[in-house]
């Protein structure tokens, strides 16, 4: 059988040719404008991407979610959308509103809530199956998932997010704590804007175990009885799994709700914190300076405590 990374690329090739939503969506990426801001040891980009308006302004409160039809369930998927069956009860779909030049949504077929508990091992397995060609990401139900009621991962072209290239340099400059347990390297990183946990190891079970230890410890420290706000990235580098867990303070920054020239319509999720902030309104995009981006990212990224 062909590798899933190849099957996914072939799926995208077909959908870009034969499905009008994809023809428009991927065509619109040509008009995206990017600014890059350089920090000490890492960089952050922002993009003006009008195609992201729907997800940026999505209403994700429980009432709105209850009143709309789930767009990841079989009954709502457009007929022209091909379903590539994947294992563990998932399917791979092309995302017709892309951020990445290759962008997939990988939902469970069954309508189950977005929660990482019980599913993180499958995230690692998916990263391995995508063979270093794509980075898998997870948005928590209260910090970026536009379908908090239907479990899904997403995946996009490797090295699109700046953090993938900055991984080693961030670790070297901004590590605040690191340890090696059962062959898994765990590094806490604070770059002045983001608080993150990096996990690296070749043994899937050991990486999974460390993730859940951190998840449980952090939940206890924050006195939470629901999933902590977090966005997660996972990819493979040769035989090694690399995972970045972003710890979050809140969902949307105050500027998202501000009026007039104070407003910046940025609704941050994995890709934004991974280093490519998406802004669907041109005026808001034009207002972004390095100072504003720093303040904005800090305001939703940095939790008071780490783990
Ligand atoms: Zn559903």
- For residue 94, the CA-to-ligand 1 centroid distance in Å is 16
Strand-pair partners of 278: 47
Would you place residue 304 in the very low, low, confident or very high pLDDT band (cuts 50, 70, 90)?
low
Question: Over pLDDT 70: what percentage of the chain?
Answer: 97
Give me ligand 1 centre to Cα 106, in Å: 12
For the chain, which residues make up each domain, given as ranges? 1-307
Lowest mean pLDDT segment, chosen from 226-235, 239-248, 294-303 = 294-303
Tell how far the Cα of 67 is from the centroid of ligand 1, in angstroms: 13
- The answer to whether the CB of 58 falls within 8 A of the CB of 183 is no
Give distance in angstroms: CA of 96 to centre of ligand 1.
Answer: 17
Provide the 10 A C-beta neighbour count for residue 174.
21
Rounded to whole angstroms, the Cα distance separating 25 from 52 reads 10
- As its CATH architecture, domain 1-307 has 2-Layer Sandwich (3.30)
CA distances from 147 to 81, 270, 300 (A): 18, 14, 20
Beta strands in the chain (DSSP E): 33-39, 42-48, 84-85, 91-94, 103-107, 134-139, 152-157, 175-181, 184-190, 195-201, 230-237, 240-247, 276-279
Between the CA of 76 and the centroid of ligand 1 the distance, in Å, is: 9
- C-alpha 109 – ligand 1 centre gap (Å): 8
- Summarised one tens digit per residue, pLDDT across range 53-69 is 776 777 777 888 888 89
């Amino acid at each position: 059988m062909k590798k899933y990374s190849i099957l996914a690329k072939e799926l995208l090739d077909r959908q870009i040719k034969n499905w009008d939503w994809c023809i428009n969506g991927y065509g619109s990426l040509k008009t995206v404008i990017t600014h890059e801001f350089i920090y000490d040891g890492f960089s952050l980009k922002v993009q003006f991407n009008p195609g992201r308006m729907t997800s940026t302004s999505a209403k994700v409160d429980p009432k709105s979610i209850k009143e709309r039809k789930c767009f990841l369930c079989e009954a709502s998927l457009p007929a022209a959308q091909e379903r590539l069956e994947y294992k563990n009860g998932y399917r791979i779909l092309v995302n017709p509103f892309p951020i990445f030049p290759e962008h997939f949504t990988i939902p469970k077929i069954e309508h189950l809530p977005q929660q990482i508990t019980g599913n993180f091992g499958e995230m690692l397995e998916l990263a391995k199956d995508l063979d270093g060609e794509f980075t898998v990401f997870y948005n928590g139900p209260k910090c970026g998932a536009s379908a908090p009621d239907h479990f899904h991962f997403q995946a996009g072209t490797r090295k699109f997010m700046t953090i993938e290239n900055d991984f080693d340099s961030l670790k070297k400059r901004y590590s605040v704590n690191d340890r090696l347990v059962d062959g898994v390297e765990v590094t806490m990183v604070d770059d002045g804007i983001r608080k993150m946990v990096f996990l690296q190891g070749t043994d899937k079970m050991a990486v999974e175990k460390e993730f859940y230890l951190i998840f449980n410890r952090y939940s206890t420290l924050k006195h939470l009885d629901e999933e902590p706000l977090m966005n997660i990235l996972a990819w493979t580098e040769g035989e090694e799994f690399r995972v970045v867990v972003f710890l979050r303070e809140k969902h949307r920054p105050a500027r998202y709700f501000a009026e007039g020239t104070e407003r910046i319509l940025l609704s941050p999720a994995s890709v934004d914190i991974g280093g490519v902030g998406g802004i669907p309104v041109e005026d808001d995009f034009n207002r972004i300076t390095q100072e504003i981006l720093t303040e904005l990212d800090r305001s939703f990224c940095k939790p008071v405590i780490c783990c």
